[in-house]
């Protein structure tokens, strides 16, 4: 139990910028952290859903949507969005694998990254601002959980390209405990979203996230031959946006 809690804390430290105590690190605990990525996503999704609901009671829904997205960026340090921008710059500007990876290492954002990031955040903002608040609540919970679950699944396939990248030491199979924790988090997310989306809406949000995330990963694997921290962060963004669009079908 102590090892599991330590791995969960390491997952939260990795995926957020919350001031959590940095204790209990061991390589073994770190390698099991992806099994708790979905749990961190569930906690974040629930918190942002509560914020969206409360903000929509006080302000106009578009303002509540922007505040919710901004809060998510602050809590995570825009970790995943930074990866998305780097990926789009590299994949858009790199003619081959090596050139794309070199561009992705550049911290400066280019035109592909700026346009793609703006479009992605814009889609999320429009959905939260225009769909009923209940739809946004359910989509936030499912999308944030599913996006991290897909990151963990990708890491478990062992196709990480950079020995010293952000995901080094994490690219191992989830194992039974990791799959149980991930499945439990997804089940709880679906149950939490059910009253707001209904069965069909929850299924649509999950399906939309899986389709969008899977299409993204197929493309990045085709172009790069493996995963990087940037492609995995972008995978979350794609799954989250896909969940938003899937949920909006039932708005």
pLDDT tens figures, 10-32: 999 999 999 887 677 777 787 88
Model-level pTM? 0.94
With beta carbons less than 8 A apart as the criterion, state whether 49 and 141 touch. yes
Burial class (CB in 10 A: 0-12, 13-18, 19+), 73: middle
| Residue 101 maps to a domain | yes
- How many domains are there within the chain? 1
Q: What is the mean pLDDT of residues 234-248?
A: 98
Please indicate, yes or no, if residue 13 is contained in any of the structural domains: no
Residue 5 lies in a domain: no
Query: What pLDDT does residue 198 have?
Result: 96
Measured between alpha carbons, how far is 229 from 151 in angstroms, rounded to an integer?
Answer: 10
Confidence band for 169, pLDDT divided at 50, 70 and 90: low
Distance between CA 178 and CA 164 in Å, rounded?
23
% of the chain with per-residue pLDDT over 70: 95
Its domain, for residue 149, covers 37-248
Is 171 among the domain residues?
A: yes
């Amino acid at each position: 139990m102590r090892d599991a809690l330590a791995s969960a804390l390491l997952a939260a430290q990795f995926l957020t910028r919350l001031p959590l105590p940095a204790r209990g690190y061991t390589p073994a605990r770190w390698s099991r952290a992806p099994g708790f990525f979905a749990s961190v996503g569930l906690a974040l999704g629930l918190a942002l859903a509560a914020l969206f609901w409360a903000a929509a009671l006080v302000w106009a829904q578009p303002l509540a949507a922007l505040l919710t997205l901004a809060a998510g960026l602050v809590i995570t340090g825009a970790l995943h969005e930074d990866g998305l921008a780097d990926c789009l710059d590299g994949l858009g500007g790199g003619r081959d694998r090596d050139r794309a990876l070199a561009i992705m290492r550049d911290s400066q954002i280019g035109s592909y990254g700026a346009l793609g990031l703006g479009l992605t955040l814009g889609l999320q903002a429009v959905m939260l601002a225009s769909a009923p608040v209940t739809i946004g609540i359910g989509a936030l919970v499912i999308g944030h959980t599913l996006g991290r679950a897909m990151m963990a699944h990708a890491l478990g396939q062992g196709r990480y390209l950079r020995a010293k990248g952000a995901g080094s030491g994490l690219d191992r199979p989830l194992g039974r405990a990791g799959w149980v924790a991930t499945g439990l988090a997804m089940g709880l997310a679906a149950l939490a979203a059910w009253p707001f989306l209904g069965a069909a809406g929850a299924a649509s949000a999950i399906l939309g996230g899986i389709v969008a995330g899977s299409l993204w990963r197929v493309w990045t694997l085709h172009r790069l031959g493996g995963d990087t921290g940037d492609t995995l962060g972008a995978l979350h963004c794609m799954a989250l946006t896909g969940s938003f669009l899937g949920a909006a079908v039932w708005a």
